[in-house]
Amino acid sequence: MPLDPRRTVSDLEQLRALTANDHGAQRIAWSETWLKARAWFQSKLAQLPVEHHLDAAGNSWTTLRGDSDRALILGSHLDSVPNGGWLDGCLGVLASFEVLRGLAEDGKPPVTIRLVDWADEEGARFGRSLFGSSAFAGTQTIQADRGRTDRDGIRLEDALRQCHVDVERIGDAAMERAHAAAYLELHIEQGPVLEGMKLPLGVVLGTKGVERHAITFHGQEAHSGSTPMAVRRDALAAAAKLALEIRPIARKHPDAVATMGSVKTFPGIVTAVVGRCETTLDMRDLDAGVLASMLAQAQEASRRFAAEEGCTVEWSRIWSIEPIPFDPALIELCDQAVRETAGTSHRLPSGPLHDAAEVARAGIPVVMMFTQSLAGLSHNPAENTKVEHLELAVQAFDRLARKTISTLSPAGTAELSP
Ligand SMILES: [Zn+2]
């Protein structure tokens, strides 16, 4: 039977019926509902000539053996945030399943095809995103995460043991990297860009680097009635100037974003000039040089505004990650697959991180394909994509997989970058 993208849509509907309630998807990693989703997925594999195992970090691997051990990996994640949508993650797993099914029906493929359902992409329960893929990539150490607990005080270690994962051994998931030659992931965009361009599909250039900082302005608390305007050292005034200045700093670059997401004032009462203002800044871009220059400009501006308001400012980094560009040769193949399927392609960076970024950090050639998200909504039960776009996405992803297999086969001509 040829590829049947409608079957992917009906699989997604089945999974929604099985794992969502009135508030949306509830497939939180390491929960009963997540295990139920995984068991349902397993049952679908039964009629295929594949092997299945869980690795040491709880990633679920389905392998269709080929003539060569060189492996093309397809995948995404079945886990969701609480009250999540019906497509985030599971679209990539179920589209990969449809592609795998078609390849299995064609007979033994020239290279091995592996489908991975990464464990705990979302980090919704323990605050550790990309859990399984980072164990695979070797970028995760359990030392940093051992102390994590969920809202009910249940330890990460104990929740994982319930799912037969021993935290001491998660590093063994790196063994799955053997023979990995390329990784492809289909995902909803989770943003408004493709819809704004009226395009169903896009090619992802990589994931943006992130600079996340706490910025505190120090001024002088003073009585709101007795302190003349001219002598105030108002920490909020300095912070407010910065909140406006980060917008032109980011707008100089087409894909850059900068967000001041939190502002706290102290003493925070109606009758006092703000003596201390704590803010946060999150900046992202795909280009490391652009990101570094945005950060430098924001730091310079904060010092200037602090001086103008008689304040001082201090910065401390909360978290950062470098931009992770995807493989140029796979980006080309993905572009071809999208154009052949939908007529027009568009290349865009991803603001959110994805498991694909961890796979790329492990040195494996990677590309992602996005399909349009209606109103750019995700992590929300309103998350949606037109059915015709979902079907195009499955077709284009199948094309991409087949093109990649040709380049990986001994007869293939193109070379993927290492
Ligand atoms: Zn996702």
**Ligand 1 centroid, distance to 86 Cα (angstroms):** 11
Give residue 272 CA to ligand 1 midpoint distance, Å: 44
What is the rounded distance in angstroms from the CA atom of residue 227 to the CA atom of residue 220?
11
CA of 229 relative to ligand 1 center, distance in Å: 50
| Per-residue DSSP letter, 112 | E
Q: What is the mean pLDDT of residues 313-324?
A: 94
Give the pLDDT band of residue 146 (cuts 50, 70, 90): confident
Task: Tell me the CA–centroid distance for residue 378 and ligand 1, in Å.
Answer: 9
Instruction: Please tell me the predicted confidence (pLDDT) of residue 87.
Output: 97
Q: 235 C-alpha to center of ligand 1: Å?
A: 38
- pTM, 2 dp: 0.91
Determine the Cα angle at 147 with ends 142 and 149, to 5°.
115
Using 50, 70 and 90 to split pLDDT, how confident is the model at 239? very high
Res 412: pLDDT:
58
The answer to whether 25 touches 19, Cβ cutoff 8 Å, is: yes
CA of 263 to the centre of ligand 1 (A): 28
Closest among 91, 68, 86 to 393, alpha carbons compared? 91
Q: Which residues pair with 84 in a beta bridge?
A: 25
pLDDT confidence of residue 249: 98
Taking the C-alpha atoms of residue 10 and residue 390, their distance in angstroms, rounded to an integer, is 11
Per-residue pLDDT at 88 exceeds 70: yes
Those residues with Cβ within 8 angstroms of residue 179's Cβ, 6 or more apart along the chain or in another chain:
69, 70, 71, 112
187 Cα–ligand 1 center, Å: 7
Dist. CA 122 → ligand 1 center (Å): 7
Banded pLDDT at 1 (limits 50, 70, 90): low
Task: Please state, rounded to an integer, the average pLDDT across all residues of the chain.
Answer: 95
